[in-house]
Chain A
Amino acid sequence: MSDKLNANNTIRTTRIESVKTENPTTKTYTFTDPRCAKAKPGQFLMLWIPHIDEIPLSIMNTTGNAVSVTVKNVGDATKHLHTLKRGDTIGVRGPFGNHFTQQEGNILLIAGGTGTAPLLYLAKQLAVTAKRLSFIIGAKTRNELLFLNQLEPLCTEPPTATTEDGTYGLKCLATQPLEQLLAEKGATQLDMVYTCGPEHMTRQVFNLTEKHGVPLEASLERLMRCGIGICGSCMIGKYRVCKDGPVFNSQRLRQVKDELGISKLGFDGNRIPA
């Protein structure tokens, strides 16, 4: 067993250093973990909530040895995680998976909901190298638009915000301004699109980038158990989201398009709607 896997996969207990409430359903947790602090944008960690569960989370930021993850309260595990406070103990293993490639040129990032977290981390790196950095961010309602203030100084122009209920920005899905942009500018003026969000949105982004011939990297999510590519819980097509992913490029997305936004494996291995 290689030392690297062994060391990254060994569970480390650490204390929560800060909890920031982003909105009524979403909190950002920061803790010290030198290994996960070396993560590249797109990688994830497994976070152990003692007595409760262990869940995969995208890495939102790293500073020195500190790591931040942004968590929406969506189920039992995240509900319990939301009760944890500064000083409480959690376990961490990782970082796991591949990462976004760092492209130069004209870049567009499109995020939905908490999918903004890994793309914020990516945007911080791309801001240094990209010729032009644009951001489309979508959510159901105004207070679910995450990190707008942090994104603004990183981007070449103010991020385009969309809400489904029209409480902020454009009243539409995030894919609508993407569709317009691609129709206007097309492949000639976009070198790469990165996306993370609900899978039906990712599917739509994939369809649009394919139509206009623009390369895409999308971060996917599946039920995960081992995080190291052996249990098979997170398969999409022939790929393991935890090890071959979570970032899939256009070529791999084409191979899994029959499942993308359509179906996934449930806890018992049965195929269920995505």
Chain B
Amino acid sequence: MIDLNRENLRGNTRLKSNPLKTCLGGLELGNPTALASGILSYSPESLQRIAEAGAGAVVTKSIGVTPRMGYPNPTVVQANCGIINAMGLPNPGIAEYASEITFTKTVTKVPLIVSVYGYSAEEYAEVAKTATEAGAEAVELNVSCPHVKETGSEIGQNPRLLTQVVRQVKAATTKPVIVKLSPNVTDIVELARAATKAGADALTAVNTVRAIAIDAETALPILSNTRGGLSGPAIKPIALRAVYDIYEQVDTPIFGCGGVTTWQDAVEFLLAGASAVQIGTAIATQDPAVFQTVNRGIQAYLKKKKFRSVKEIVGQAKRK
């Protein structure tokens, strides 16, 4: 069994024999697992810990032009087989966060992907430009946050707005641009196609599924924001279907995201057409060690099925 951490730090030249190595949208990953946005990603120390635990890449919290405090608690509520959250995009703003990006690059060697949100195409572009200049290897556009008005999914559900945002960001940076799609749409392939046409280098499918939790005793919605986004095992089949649909019809590499908890989940996403997966909610139950557990499982699967590389299984489940 290879030591994932050491393998990650060796650099590309030594990764040739690493069966877990993958790439998407111009990003080289030592293994096909990344930290999903919004999870444990305020501080460089936290991102460093996740990278050292074996993640092939890390995605930060969503960063905007100006600081945001987020919503009051409750911001997270347990559901059956998942978690509903409405954090409200708390973040320090890109001016402050730029130095954190630069510092993070000094303590972690895995690709750093900065998640970006804005209230206009110009804002997305401004944050993306500053983030990549500060050292981010790529940006992931949050056009799918389901609980903040006038940003997130309000952009990502509209092909015209989505096109504008992706185009402006592409013009503002030379680094890979990943578009994180919302599952709260009638046809996710239409949005995947719009993002691709506008120049997206990769897609992340999917963000959380719009949801609510109500307390019977008090007859109240529990989240302070009333509605939130569901993550965790409950949404895995939905996310898997989204990846399958997009892979079938769009030629852009995909980060599978939604409920990945075990190596079997990760393999299913790869078979559905994802080049890599993102993991978030599973950290609540398994701690950052989940990255190593999942990677070891994928590697054992490849060996058992006699595949030399994780790349060989991407999209294998597609019906011919």
Contacts and interface: CB of A to CB of B under 8 A. Distances in A.
B182 interface: no
Given A225-B87, A226-B75, A229-B287, A11 B215 contact: yes
B91 A269 contact: yes
Given A54-B73, A55-B73, A228-B76, A268 B39 contact: no
Given A231-B75, A232-B46, A268 B41 contact: no
Interface stretch (B170-178, B194-202, B217-225): B217-225
Contacts of A237: 45
Contacts of B81: 1, 6
A268 B284 contact: no
Tell me the interface secondary structure of chain B in the complex: loop
Given A6-B78, A235-B43, A270 B96 contact: yes
A53 interface: yes
Interface string A1-20: 11001100111010000000
Contact of B82 (A1, A48, A226, A266): A1
A226 B222 CA distance: 13
A53 B78 contact: no
B217 A232 contact: no
Interface string B151-194: 00000000000000000000000000000000000000000000
A89 B77 CA distance: 18
B78 A238 contact: no
Given A230-B284, A269-B90, A10 B41 contact: no
A74 to B, nearest CB: 15
Contacts of A240: 40
A91 interface: yes
B73 A1 contact: no
Interface in A31-61: 46, 48, 50-51, 53-55
B25 interface: no
Which of B73, B76, B232, B261 is packed against the most chain A CB atoms within 10 Å?
A: B73
A46 B78 CA distance: 12
A35 to B, nearest CB: 12
A232 B82 contact: no
Given A13-B215, A48-B222, A270-B67, A93 B78 contact: yes
A26 to B, nearest CB: 21
Contacts of B26: none
Contacts of B218: 13, 50, 89, 91
A233 interface: yes
A91 B43 contact: no
Interface string B46-90: 101100000000000100000111101111111011110101001
B281 A270 contact: no
Contact of B69 (A11, A93, A268): A268
B42 A13 contact: no
B285 interface: yes
Interface in B90-111: 90-93, 96-97
A267 B68 CA distance: 8
Nearest to A243: B287
Contacts of A66: none
A92 to B, nearest CB: 12
B233 interface: yes
A227 interface: yes
Contact of A11 (B75, B222, B280): B222
A225 B93 contact: no
A265 interface: yes
Contacts of A91: 215, 218, 222
Contacts of B90: 233, 267-269
Interface of B: 38-43, 45-46, 48-49, 61, 67-70, 72-78, 80-83, 85, 87, 90-93, 96-97, 215, 217-218, 220, 222, 224, 232-233, 261, 280-281, 283-285, 287
Given A6-B81, A230-B284, 12 more contacts: A1-B232, A9-B284, A13-B217, A13-B218, A51-B220, A91-B215, A225-B87, A226-B284, A232-B41, A232-B46, A267-B90, A268-B91
Interface of A: 1-2, 5-6, 9-11, 13, 46, 48, 50-51, 53-55, 89, 91, 93, 225-233, 235, 237-238, 240, 243, 265-270
18 contacts: A1-B281, A2-B285, A9-B284, A11-B222, A13-B217, A50-B215, A50-B220, A53-B73, A54-B74, A228-B284, A229-B40, A230-B83, A230-B284, A232-B40, A235-B45, A238-B45, A240-B40, A265-B43
